[in-house]
Amino acid sequence: MKDFTPLKRAFAPLAFVLLATTSGCYKLRGHYGGTQTFEPLARRVEATDVAVPAGYRVEAVAQGLTYPTGIAFDERGTPYVLEAGYSYGEVWTAPRLLRLEAGGRTSEVYVGGKNGPWTGVTYHDGAFYISEGGQLEGGRILRVSPQGQMSVVVDKLPSYGDHHTNMPVVGPDGYLYFGQGTATNSGVVGPDNADFGWLTRRRDFHDIPCQDITLTGENFVSENPLTEAKEDKITTGAYVPFGTTTTKGQVVKGQLPCTGAIMRVPLRGGQPELVAWGLRNPFGLAYSPDGRLFTTENAYDTRGSRPGYGCGDVLWEIKPGAWYGFPDYSAGQPMNTSDYETPKNDPKFLLAKHPQQPPKPAAVLGVHSSSNGFDFSRAAAFGHVGEAFVAQFGDMAPEVGRVYGPVGYKVVRVNPATGAVEDFVVNKGRTNGPASEISSAGLERPVAARFDHSGKALYVVDFGVMPMTEQGPSPRKQTGVVWKITKE
């Protein structure tokens, strides 16, 4: 039986160092304990509990936020924060765009409806563009004026599943680019999707390819969470609704919009155009100083009918027309090898023909680290120009797979030219992890990192306290924080 280590075998020496320094003992980490609750929590926040490199300073500039996920700056440099309105655990609140005022106060700019999560925001030419995850009604991109007037840029995006419509960014060509996550973990609808809440609402929903694909005909037997009959079994294939089988050579027609892709639309709105596909959950999206588009991809979890083992999150350079490997490759490597096996599954290929060989990743990040929103340094006054600063939300073990110690819960600095990854903002102490778990008043779950217009300040959006209980995620309201890092 394989160990569920937090890093890929390809990085075994690094994995040993991290385990030795972060876990203390080699006991698999389970649930945090406690009862699932979403009630507000009094969170201690102390910048002195957060470690940054010598010569840098960290401070908390806003507290008491509920599920914050993004930050943007208007032409005056005023920061605006996004609150998601929905979180895993099936908890709903009002999604909000908030202006950060002096002294850490906030004021509402716009309040949305029950169609979260809002996952990202950017500001361009006098308007905010917000990615609305669309858990209930489908994904949308919203345009919101500073006065709170809203219009829809694009809607009816396939965003009812595990992953959502993600971070919008305006390209040098004047188009609005955004990510769209997949419906499932690895191409097959299973009982884990009922645990996420959406399968009972959308029994016909499944992944949608961006181009025609030919299936191998692999089918998977699982428990049926949609009936009360004990030990009821059901068989499901790839890219089809739950309980539907497939055959060898079966063709699934591609369509737009699709799941697992980067798409673009004109700023005035219109039909989505495909940029790149084969991405499991392209969450963060940002341009480098030299004008190249990059995304962070949340890799496969060890769950569901087709679990994947040891799949590291990825920083990709996005090249138009490229296919990045979902559902048969991880970080450019084929999934049908012993490296990705679990004790219960051998992840065979789902596609009989692959559109192309996936590109080489710019960097491979921690397994289950949930590497999300990021930005590139552009200012020598801050340092590390051309490197990406990636917020790592942290693992959701054991639901996503077993780990020895907490993975993520920090901001890492990534050199896309070499693939080197280094910690930049992390909790102090002998062990890393969410502050609430390690008796700290520092970081909980960083979800986005963004430089202000000057490039001299890096803002980190901290989603807040979210322990994993036996009943599932327990995101606590009013525990979100915005941190600011500057060079002294």
pLDDT tens digit sequence for 299-349 = 999 999 999 889 999 999 999 999 999 999 999 999 998 777 666 666 799
3-state secondary structure of 401: coil
Q: Are 191 and 223 in contact (CB under 8 A)?
A: yes
Percent of all residues in the chain with a pLDDT value above 70, rounded to a whole number:
92
Percent of all residues in the chain with a pLDDT value above 90, rounded to a whole number:
87
What is the pLDDT at residue 24? 37
Provide mean pLDDT across the span 159-164.
97
Provide mean pLDDT across the span 142-147.
98
Contacts of 417 (CB under 8 A, 6+ apart): 386
CA dist 57 and 48 (Å) reads: 10
Residue 10 has pLDDT above 60, yes or no: no
E strands, 181-226, are 213-214, 219-223
Tens digit of each residue's pLDDT (9 = 90 or more) over 185-243: 999 999 999 999 999 999 999 999 999 999 999 999 999 999 988 889 999 999 999 99
Predicted TM-score (pTM) of the model is: 0.93
Tens digit of each residue's pLDDT (9 = 90 or more) over 112-130: 999 999 999 999 999 999 9
What is the pLDDT at residue 238? 98
What is the pLDDT at residue 347? 75
Provide mean pLDDT across the span 448-462.
98
Q: Please give the structure tokens belonging to residue 81.
A: 């924060």
Tens digit of each residue's pLDDT (9 = 90 or more) over 50-84: 999 999 999 999 999 999 999 999 999 999 999 99
Strand partners, 194: none
What is the pLDDT at residue 311? 95
Higher-confidence residue of 398 and 377: namely 377
Looking at the domain covering 9-487, what would its CATH class be? mainly beta
Contacts of 432 (CB under 8 A, 6+ apart): 22, 405, 406, 409, 410, 426, 438
Q: Work out the pLDDT band at 144, boundaries 50, 70, 90.
A: very high
Q: What's the count of helices (H) and strands (E) in the chain, helices before strands?
A: 2, 35
Provide mean pLDDT across the span 95-116.
96
CA dist 114 and 93 (Å) reads: 8
CA-based torsion, 177, 178, 182, 186: positive or negative: positive
Q: Please give the structure tokens belonging to residue 329.
A: 């490759």
Is beta strand 213-214 parallel, antiparallel or unpaired with respect to 175-180? unpaired
CA-based torsion, 375, 376, 379, 383: positive or negative: positive
Each domain of the chain, given as residue ranges in start order, spans 9-487
CA dist 57 and 67 (Å) reads: 25
Q: Work out the pLDDT band at 17, boundaries 50, 70, 90.
A: very low
Determine if the peptide bond prior to 257 is cis (ω within 30°).
Answer: yes
Dihedral-angle region of residue 34 (phi above 0 means left; psi in -120 to 50 means alpha; beta otherwise)? left
Q: Please give the structure tokens belonging to residue 302.
A: 């060890």
Q: Are 38 and 477 in contact (CB under 8 A)?
A: yes
Q: Give me the chain's average pLDDT, please.
A: 92
CA dist 23 and 74 (Å) reads: 42
Q: Work out the pLDDT band at 401, boundaries 50, 70, 90.
A: confident
Residue 28 has pLDDT above 70, yes or no: no
Residue 15 has pLDDT above 60, yes or no: no
Tens digit of each residue's pLDDT (9 = 90 or more) over 241-254: 999 999 999 999 99
